Amino acid sequence: MSFDQTQQQRTQLFLNALSDQGTVDELGTGNIRDLISNVLFPGHTVLHTRAKYLLFLPRDFSRLASKTVDALVDEGKKAEGRRIKTLRQRYEAEGLRNRGIIGYTTGSETKQLPSGSYWGLLRQLGVYRGTGSLWDYYRDLATHNAALAQRSILHSEEDDEQRAPSGLWAEYPNESPKYDGFSLSPDEAQWLQERFLDSDDSPEEERSLTTWLLEKGGKDSDREWISGLAYVWEHPLTDQFPARTAEVMWLGCDVDQLLFGARILYNYLCAHHRPDKGEAREALLDRYKNAMSEWRSEIDKDPPRPTLLTELDQWGQGRLGTIQASPAARLRWRTTLHFAQRWQQLVTSSADLLVDPNAHEHIAYRERTLKPGRARLAKPYDRLQGWGGDSGYSRLDYNWSPAARILDDIHLGLGTPRVEVVREDAAATEVNA
């Protein structure tokens, strides 16, 4: 299949939701998450780990020499396998976990190789200058390599070093042995900074937060990079963010605050209806009772404004028009909004959502509608046998976590002055670095 850029972005968003447990969407609100994420941190997905993959991939893939698509697919997979092996060897002594090595346990047999995860971002940044998918690249490269072989059996060493047609990849910095693994040289970091900045041609007030957080990076910057924030709205300079983008950020923050209660109740009901009784079930019930109590206290202290979902709908309808969303996507938006509106009514009117049958039915009906024949909250509840908890149970950060790690890598390479936010027992302290 050959996807245009819009189709590829939609497909990637769908794959992300299926691939990462942190974004499991039991109640069908992922379309809100995805629309907002792509305004704040366009091109980023939960599958991204480190910035240097944006250099590894063009370096490895521009050297592929096979002459058929099938052979190139195999050669590309082997190249990614070698890169995984090199990274494993580099970090083995320090520990492999949390390094961001994609495929560090399964190697090239991992379900989602870096090429599949990063291809959309490579295109968005203009690192890959072709117009198609990874499969289209293999097809174009096969044609190019076959034509090259037809012209001459012999080729220069220079041809070996740069196999791909010169127009398919942006000119990238040379590798430096001093900066191995995921560390970026100053030249590499500056090159990536420029790619991100050049790719954002939005009006000043609508620029992405990625762009704003990168634009003043450098060792002489008067704007420190703040590392370790759990959510981007915790940044001390939110009042300086691009105005329209900041509005979307706060809208996302407020909507998630409201809908997190629905995710708590969903998990509580799963625990409540779990057929196998025992300590594990009781522990889950206590966990979600406490979570609901804490959430309710937050909501009572700072209630969602009555116009919140109207504001969300006005913005969302406009955004769907901008990206030329399909009729099916617009229908999903309307059903999601209806679910959220009814939830807000229940939050306002119910004294105790944990025992409110209307709230219970609202959550159960939503899941049955989304997953007919597969819903957990459907009699006889056999799908809940041995259920382990925490299904879609998380606060949304709208892809801040993967974006922040990439930004952190780039700022380290640039030498930007930094502040580390260290979290201990939910308390945050700042450490200048």
Write out pLDDT tens, residues 141-197: 998 888 887 775 555 555 544 556 657 899 999 999 999 999 999 999 999 999 999
Q: Contact at 8 Å (CB) between 217 and 192?
A: no
Average pLDDT (96-114) is 85
Average pLDDT (277-293) is 96
Burial readout 158-174 (b: 16 or more C-beta within 10 A, e: otherwise): eeeeebbbeebbbebbe
Give the pLDDT band of residue 426 (cuts 50, 70, 90): very low
Token pair in block for residue 280: 């594990």
Is the pLDDT at 330 greater than 60, yes or no? yes
Is the pLDDT at 16 greater than 70, yes or no? no
Helix (H) or strand (E) holding 214: helix 209-214
Per-residue pLDDT at 100: 93
Is the pLDDT at 385 greater than 90, yes or no? yes
CA–CA separation, 398 and 249 (whole Å): 9
- Radius of gyration of the CA atoms of the chain, in A: 24
Give the pLDDT band of residue 110 (cuts 50, 70, 90): confident
Is the pLDDT at 21 greater than 50, yes or no? no
Query: pTM for the whole thing?
Result: 0.89
CA–CA separation, 324 and 330 (whole Å): 10
Query: What is the distance in angstroms between the CA of the first residue and the CA of the last residue of the chain?
Result: 48
Q: Contact at 8 Å (CB) between 163 and 65?
A: yes
Token pair in block for residue 384: 């809940």
